Amino acid sequence: MGFEGADPGTVRPGGRTARVRSAVLQAAGDALAEHGFAHLDLADIARRAEVGKTTVYRRWGTVTSLVADLLLDMAEQSLPRTETGSLLGDLKANARLVQRTLADPRQGALFKAVIAAATCEAKTAEALHRFYDIRVKEWAPCVQQAVDRGEVPEGTDVHEVIRAVSAPLYYRLLTSSDCLDAAAADQAAEAAVAAARAGAYLRGDEGRA
């Protein structure tokens, strides 16, 4: 009697278990980037990771659940942001980073696949949301600095400004066949700055026109 063991991987997370996890997550990323989310099978991932397929099924069970764990892993690896001294410079740096990531064949495909997976299961969606919350929080300070400098009105929702930079890039990635170039990134940053200056992102009551 007593408790049935908790999920596998939680009691002895060291050594082999950790090695298996990172090998599987690596393989999952590769497979997602290659085949996309739909045509994905866990046995293939197990083969790539040189791990028994039983193990993959036992620890993750479903593709979406594996993607959720992958997102947890991705959220932990954060690139430090650059600081240029001006809001436009900082946001352009951010936009270029996003643009380069999404335009990269492997990373771009991976992000598409991860977003697709998140639309299919609440738990995976939650992991994706957490991932973006972290990224947004990392970059928000540069907008706060602009507020402090007086470049942008007091009361601006700084997180929303960061999201405004990424949004058009993701929208283009998903809904159009246009290429994601540096010009698109710069445009996204410029638009966000212009809108922020005009008070479009004032928190609480909706700003004036």
Q: Is 115 in the site for a second copy (CB under 8 A)?
A: yes
Of the pair 103, 115, the CB lying nearest a second copy is at: 115
Give least dist CB 117 to DNA, A: 13
Q: Which of 29, 31, 55, 164 binds DNA (CB under 7 A)?
A: 55
Which listed option, DNA, a second copy, none, makes contact with residue 147 (CB within 5 to 8 Å by class)? none
Strand residues in the chain grouped as ranges (E): none
Of the pair 73, 190, the CB lying nearest a second copy is at: 190
If one counts every other C-beta atom within 10 angstroms of the C-beta of residue 120, the result is 13
* 2 CA to centre of own chain: 39
User: Any long-range contacts for 159-163 (C-beta under 8 Å, 24+ apart)?
Assistant: 160/201, 161/91, 161/192, 161/196, 161/201, 162/91, 162/94, 162/136, 163/136
Q: Is 75 in the site for a second copy (CB under 8 A)?
A: no
Among the residue ranges 36-44, 86-94, 115-123, 162-170, the one whose residues contact DNA (CB under 7 A): 36-44
| Dihedral angle sign, alpha carbons of residues 115, 121, 126, 131 | negative
Positions 79 through 108 that interact with a second copy (CB under 8 A): 88
End-to-end CA, the chain: 66
Q: Which of 28, 29, 31, 59 binds DNA (CB under 7 A)?
A: 59
Q: Which of 21, 28, 112, 143 binds a second copy (CB under 8 A)?
A: 112
